[in-house]
């Protein structure tokens, strides 16, 4: 059993603000930190810490940031043999503005991430791969080629359709599971507001293109839900002790959900554990480094049972 992740790797610069900043306003940063991140890397770390053998495909530049990103993944036990190291390219970078209360805004410079190709990524899908996970910080054509490959078609193909990109919709038919947060769900369905209840998520059936597909939507403090053509499942959130930083919470959810599916769990249990993991992650600073271990997730879910 294993999870293969194709996605982005970024060097994150997190800036903690003393107050909410508006357009045209200058504020002095209260605290700053550099760390590894990127949706792909974060999700790979989350899956690995939850106990799934994990392989990472993607690209970094032949620079100091790229070396740091590869070494950080290797330290987590993630197989990095299928990462491309590209001469003449910068590694991806993200600037994260964290407001009081933990909400954030992120600006991403994809750089090498958009140059990662599907051919090398196909090698990360091996005989024991049960889940292939991708996000939209990579080239859409490369994701399409990967998901359409015979190697990926034999696994559960999960697309975390984030960030919301109109061209990402052409990947939906190639996926077995689609994961959105509330704003992404509203963007792809062209809704005038974000969904706030399970009933409003039924509209997600419009995104299904073939039998057996499932749409998963995270609802923040409310929890998460899965919607098929003929049924739905809701899993309530676990209360976070204190919200420190929401960066990477969605990635934590996706990585743990992928690991649960890899390990043979049903969707209802996978949602429950992924919710618990995300609630733990927001209580810590940073993205990749905030991902909890399986033991920590099980301690929380056991205490709540």
* C-alpha to C-alpha distance for 303 and 255, rounded to whole angstroms: 22
pLDDT of residue 76: 97
Q: Please, which pLDDT band fits residue 305 given cuts at 50, 70 and 90?
A: low
% of the chain surpassing 90 pLDDT: 77
% of the chain surpassing 70 pLDDT: 99
> For the residues 190-211, what does the mean pLDDT come to?
90
Q: Please, which pLDDT band fits residue 188 given cuts at 50, 70 and 90?
A: very high
Active site residues: 251
pLDDT at 187 over 70: yes
User: Are β-strands 54-61 and 10-16 bridged in parallel, bridged antiparallel, or unpaired?
Assistant: unpaired
- Lookup result for tokens 């392989």: 55
| Contact yes or no for 9/113 (Cβ under 8 A) | yes
> For the residues 220-237, what does the mean pLDDT come to?
94
pLDDT of residue 16: 86
Angle at 74 between CA 1 and CA 126, to 5 degrees: 30
Spell out the domains of the chain, with CATH numbers in brackets: 2-8+39-90+113-304 (3.40.1190.20)
pLDDT of residue 27: 85
Query: Is residue 257 part of an annotated ligand binding site?
Result: no
> For the residues 209-227, what does the mean pLDDT come to?
94
Q: Which tokens go with 215? A: 């749409």
Query: Is residue 17 part of an annotated ligand binding site?
Result: no
| Contact yes or no for 82/55 (Cβ under 8 A) | yes
pLDDT of residue 174: 97
Average pLDDT, the chain: 93
* C-alpha to C-alpha distance for 177 and 179, rounded to whole angstroms: 7
Query: Is residue 181 part of an annotated ligand binding site?
Result: yes
Q: Please, which pLDDT band fits residue 260 given cuts at 50, 70 and 90?
A: very high
pLDDT at 304 over 70: no
Q: Please, which pLDDT band fits residue 1 given cuts at 50, 70 and 90?
A: confident
The region that residue 77 occupies, defined by phi over 0 for left and psi between -120 and 50 for alpha, beta otherwise, is left
88-118 residue pLDDT tens: 999 999 898 888 887 888 888 999 999 999 9
Query: Is residue 285 part of an annotated ligand binding site?
Result: no
Query: Is residue 91 part of an annotated ligand binding site?
Result: no
pLDDT of residue 103: 82
- Lookup result for tokens 């559960």: 156
Query: Is residue 221 part of an annotated ligand binding site?
Result: yes
pTM: 0.93
pLDDT of residue 243: 83
144-167 residue pLDDT tens: 999 999 999 999 999 999 999 999
38-82 residue pLDDT tens: 999 999 999 999 999 999 999 999 999 999 999 999 999 999 999
């Amino acid at each position: 059993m294993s999870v293969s992740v194709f996605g982005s790797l970024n060097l994150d610069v997190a800036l903690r603000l003393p107050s909410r900043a508006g357009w045209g306003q200058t504020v002095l940063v209260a605290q700053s930190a550099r760390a590894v991140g990127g949706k792909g890397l974060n999700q790979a770390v989350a899956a690995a810490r939850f106990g799934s053998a994990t392989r990472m495909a993607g690209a970094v530049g032949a620079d100091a940031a790229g070396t740091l990103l590869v070494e950080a993944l290797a330290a987590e036990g993630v197989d990095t043999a299928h990462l491309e190291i590209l001469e003449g390219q910068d590694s991806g970078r993200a600037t994260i503005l964290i407001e009081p209360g933990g909400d954030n805004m992120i600006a991403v410079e994809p750089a090498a991430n958009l140059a990662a190709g599907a051919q090398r990524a196909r090698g990360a899908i091996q005989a024991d791969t049960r889940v292939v996970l991708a996000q939209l910080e990579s080239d859409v054509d490369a994701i399409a080629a990967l998901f359409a490959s015979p190697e990926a078609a034999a696994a559960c193909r999960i697309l975390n359709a984030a960030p919301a990109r109109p061209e990402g919709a052409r990947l939906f038919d190639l996926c077995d599971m689609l994961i959105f947060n509330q704003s992404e769900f509203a963007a792809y369905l062209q809704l005038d507001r974000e969904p706030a209840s399970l009933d409003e998520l039924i509209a997600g059936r419009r995104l299904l293109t073939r039998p057996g597909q499932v749409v998963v939507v995270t609802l923040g403090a409310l929890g998460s839900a899965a919607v098929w053509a003929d049924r739905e499942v809701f899993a309530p959130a676990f209360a976070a002790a204190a919200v420190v930083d929401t960066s990477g919470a969605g990635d934590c959810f996706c990585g743990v959900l992928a690991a649960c599916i890899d390990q043979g769990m049903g969707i209802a249990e996978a949602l429950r554990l992924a919710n618990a993991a995300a609630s733990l992650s927001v209580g810590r600073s940073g993205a990749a480094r905030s991902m909890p271990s399986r033991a920590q997730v099980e301690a929380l879910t056991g205490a709540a049972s």
